Amino acid sequence: MMCLGIPVKVVEISGNSAIGEIGGVKRKIDISFVDVKVGDYVILHAGFAIQKLDEEEAEETLKLLREMSDGLY
Amino acid sequence: MDYINPFRDSEMCSALSKEIKKFGREVRFMEVCGTHTMAIHRYGLKSLLPENIRLLSGPGCPVCVTSSMDIDRMIACTHAGIVATFGDMLRVPGTFSSLEKEKAKGADVRVVYSPMDAVEIARKTAKNVIFLGVGFETTAPSVAQAIKSSPENFMVYPMHKLVPPALKKLLEGKNRIDGFLLPGHVCTVTGTKGYEFLKGKIPCVVSGFEPADILASILMLVKQIEEGKADIEIEYGRSVKREGNQKAMETMYEVYEPSGALWRGLGYIESSGLSIRKEFGSKDASALIKEEFESEEREGCRCGEVLQGLVEPVDCPLFSRVCTPLEPIGPCMVSSEGTCAAYYKYGGYA
């Protein structure tokens, strides 16, 4: 679990604390290290959001992966 | 957006696998991070790679690289108050005992998910609460934040380690490594600047943790080799920025400073650990442990070599015979990120 991080959706924010949801399970998360708003996704590690996930970059990676797997890379 | 399932697409994985199989050279890539090791075994990714591409597990399991001396001292923390720890540490055998055995004898050892849960425990008691600060740069900022926002009776036994100095040491060693899959969540925090020294020396790709991420990263390493490059590329761009997470890094260095550390397998490495700064000296639980220990590695255990990718778990005479997840001899069999645990769980032994 030490370097395990999972994508979690931020559903509520109160100061440095937020509620994150994954697969219907909700958990308190500390958001001291990130600037997020409700609806953003973060990587959750040991109770802390360590980064806001970048949707554009995720789409870009998927595009690249599709290209690579088509042999066009 | 769905950040998981598109990166698990089986058709994409088999197409990536086909592309990788076009590469004919014998190469050895090291997945530095234990969470990558687990993912590789969980998704059976080795079966999607050709025989000429070998994956070696690296030192990226914080529990596994903790020295016997630190484990013995950490177990001694149970004499100084309530010990709060990540679950991975509970069954790690020291020279004389384990936290689990001490707990069975009556020590107050509590498993927490977050260092903030340990701070909560401290707020509700007058006793000292000692959190075992294990983990790489992914975890150290969170523990630093806990230290900053904790009551007086909360302390940390610091055993954090930094990844880049270990990679430097590995490259100086006798093992041939042709490329690194760099740890995605460590780099999420640190960025890639600390890895610049690898540029021009060895191809590196910072990888995500889903199966398509890992296969794509392997393909990117292969392409670098074909093109004669040795760059630091980022596959896991949705989480990793070149500059990392500045706020997390600032918090980490506000509370901690680099110091020498002893690694299982790799030995002592300059500036590869984190000590608590003088300003936060009252939070340093290592000052409470006055006992001296004659710490020893368990006889026959080859964790130290497994951590350097020098041998595979199956090369260890203890693996699966006397060393199992239920009766672990070495830490690599205990941790959920340990190489031996991954081989055991997904290799048909369990």
Per-residue pLDDT tens for B82-104? 999 999 999 999 999 999 999 99
State the nearest Cα–Cα gap between A35 and chain B, in angstroms: 10
pLDDT in tens, B28-50: 999 999 999 999 999 999 999 99
CATH architecture of B5-58+163-234: 3-Layer(aba) Sandwich (3.40)
pLDDT in tens, B282-313: 999 999 998 889 998 888 999 999 999 999 99
pLDDT score at B82: 98
Q: Would you say residue A45 lies in a domain? A: yes
Strands A25-30 and A17-22: antiparallel
pLDDT score at B296: 87
Q: Would you say residue A19 lies in a domain? A: yes
Report chain B residues whose CB lies below 8 A from the CB of A59: 1
C-alpha A58/C-alpha B340 separation (Å) is 32
Longest dimension (CA), chain B: 64
Question: How many domains, chain A?
Answer: 1
pLDDT score at B308: 93
| pLDDT at position A73 over 60 | no
Report chain B residues whose CB lies below 8 A from the CB of A62: 6-7
Report chain B residues whose CB lies below 8 A from the CB of A71: 19
A-B Cβ pairs (cutoff 8 Å, strict): 149
B180 CB-near residues (< 8 Å, 6+ apart)? B29, B30, B32, B58, B167, B198, B202, B203, B204, B205
| pLDDT at position A72 over 50 | no
DSSP code, position A47:
T
CB contact under 8 A, A46 and B113: yes
pLDDT in tens, B251-275: 999 999 999 999 999 999 999 999 9
**Burial, B6: exposed, middle or buried (Cβ in 10 Å; 0-12, 13-18, 19+)?**
middle
Mean pLDDT of B102-109: 97
| pLDDT at position A26 over 90 | yes
Mean pLDDT of B66-74: 94
Partner A contacted by B236 (CB < 8 A): yes
Which fold, B63-162+244-288?
Rossmann fold (3.40.50)
Bridge partners (DSSP) of residue B188 are none
pLDDT score at A71: 58
B306 CB-near residues (< 8 Å, 6+ apart)? B57, B64, B265, B312, B313, B316, B332, B339, B340
pLDDT in tens, B139-160: 999 999 999 999 999 999 999 9
CB contact under 8 A, A46 and B235: no
State the nearest Cα–Cα gap between A52 and chain B, in angstroms: 7
CB contact under 8 A, B239 and A61: no
In percent, the amount of chain B with pLDDT more than 90 equals 94
Strands B82-85 and B53-60: unpaired
Contacts by A15-23, CB closer than 8 A, 24 or more apart: A18/A49, A20/A44, A20/A49
Q: Would you say residue A1 lies in a domain? A: no
C-alpha B166/C-alpha B161 separation (Å) is 9
H helix runs in chain A, sequence order = 55-69
Mean pLDDT of A5-24: 95
Q: Would you say residue A65 lies in a domain? A: yes
Domain with A35, as residue range(s), is 6-70
Letter for the amino acid at A69? S
Partner A contacted by B135 (CB < 8 A): yes
Burial B25-49 (b: 16+ CB within 10 A, else e): eebebbbbbbbbbbbbbebebeebb
Mean pLDDT of chain A: 92
| pLDDT at position B56 over 50 | yes
| pLDDT at position B27 over 60 | yes
Look up the pTM and report it. 0.95
A64 CB-near residues (< 8 Å, 6+ apart)? A73, B216
C-alpha B121/C-alpha B99 separation (Å) is 18
Mean pLDDT of chain B: 96
Report chain A residues whose CB lies below 8 A from the CB of B240: 51
pLDDT score at B298: 84
pLDDT score at A37: 97
**Interface list for B 55-74 with A (CB within 8 A):** 60-63
pLDDT score at B123: 98
Of the candidates A73, A46, A6, which has an alpha carbon nearest to the alpha carbon of residue B184? Answer: A6
Enter the tokens of residue B192: 């890639």
pLDDT score at A1: 53
C-alpha B321/C-alpha B175 separation (Å) is 27
Mean pLDDT of B5-11: 95
Question: Which residue in this structure is represented by tokens 């442990």?
Answer: B289
CB contact under 8 A, B12 and A48: no
CATH of the domain at A20: 2.30.30.140
Least CB–CB distance from B216: residue in A47, A58, A68: A68
Report chain A residues whose CB lies below 8 A from the CB of B332: none
Report chain B residues whose CB lies below 8 A from the CB of A33: 141, 145, 245, 247-248, 251
Partner A contacted by B5 (CB < 8 A): no
Domain boundaries defined on chain B: 5-58+163-234, 63-162+244-288, 303-346
ipTM value, please give it: 0.94
CB contact under 8 A, B19 and A7: no
Partner A contacted by B111 (CB < 8 A): no
